[in-house]
Amino acid sequence: MMTMIDHDEPAASARGALFDFDLSPNGRTGAERRPRMRSRATGLAPLDAGCAPLLTSWLNDSDVYFPMGDVDPRPFTVEDGKRYVESHLKDTWAVVAEGPENVWTPVGYAGMFVRSRHRVGIFRIAIGNPAARGQGHGYRATRLMLKWAFDELDLHCVHLSVSAANTRAVALYKKVGFVECGRYRESRWEDGVRHDEIVMEVLRGSVRP
């Protein structure tokens, strides 16, 4: 039987690639990214400076910045985007989608902040391109990130927090195997409304097949 998740390259190169890419202004543009890990038409590719304009547009979109809580709602400039990329080079991947003729383009990003002494990761994801949502990219990218976290980073568990209003994301996380382990009550302030923040976890070995 064919496995759902396959890696294009051995684990060591996948991890090494995160630390070895072109940050020069003449580096790759936002156009095409080859995935280092893939599952069907969804992949994870190293983030690089060329992703900054796309990230900037996503981080200015309330559909992304409210649920992510990465940045305060404000105009986010391309310079901010570059700084964001530079500070997340080691923990964040571009989520890429396969189009016609095997061309892979970035549709979002996914990150894993690692608390290394505890072997714990804190996960986040956004499919920034609205047209790419609802096609399974979020699900497959989350599974790829968990595979990376447990098989390559050797983490013991992965945590996240999500607004209770974000029913789409909560459904995705449960589908993958995350379980709710607590709530910060009324701790999300989104568009003038307070929502609970749900804390979720998945332990090594508990990802749903």
Ligand X SMILES: CC(C)(COP(=O)(O)OP(=O)(O)OC[C@H]1O[C@@H](n2cnc3c(N)ncnc32)[C@H](O)[C@@H]1OP(=O)(O)O)[C@@H](O)C(=O)NCCC(=O)NCCS
What residue ranges bind ligand X (CB under 6 A)? Answer: 63-64, 67-68, 108, 125-127, 133-139, 162, 166-169, 171-172, 175
Do residues 51 and 89 touch, judged by C-beta distance below 8 A?
no
Element (H, E) at 174: helix 167-176
Strand order in the sheet with 179-190: 6-7, 37-39, 42-46, 92-98, 104-115, 120-127, 157-163, 193-203, 179-190
Give min distance, CB of 25 to ligand X, in A: 29
Give min distance, CB of 32 to ligand X, in A: 20
Whose Cβ is closer to ligand X: residue 50's or residue 108's? 108
Give min distance, CB of 127 to ligand X, in A: 4
Whose Cβ is closer to ligand X: residue 13's or residue 183's? 183
Instruction: Read off the tokens for 83.
Output: 């700084």
Give min distance, CB of 10 to ligand X, in A: 27
Measured from each CB, the residue nearest to ligand X is: 138
Nearest to 113 by CA among 88, 96, 138, 94: 88
Whose Cβ is closer to ligand X: residue 9's or residue 196's? 196
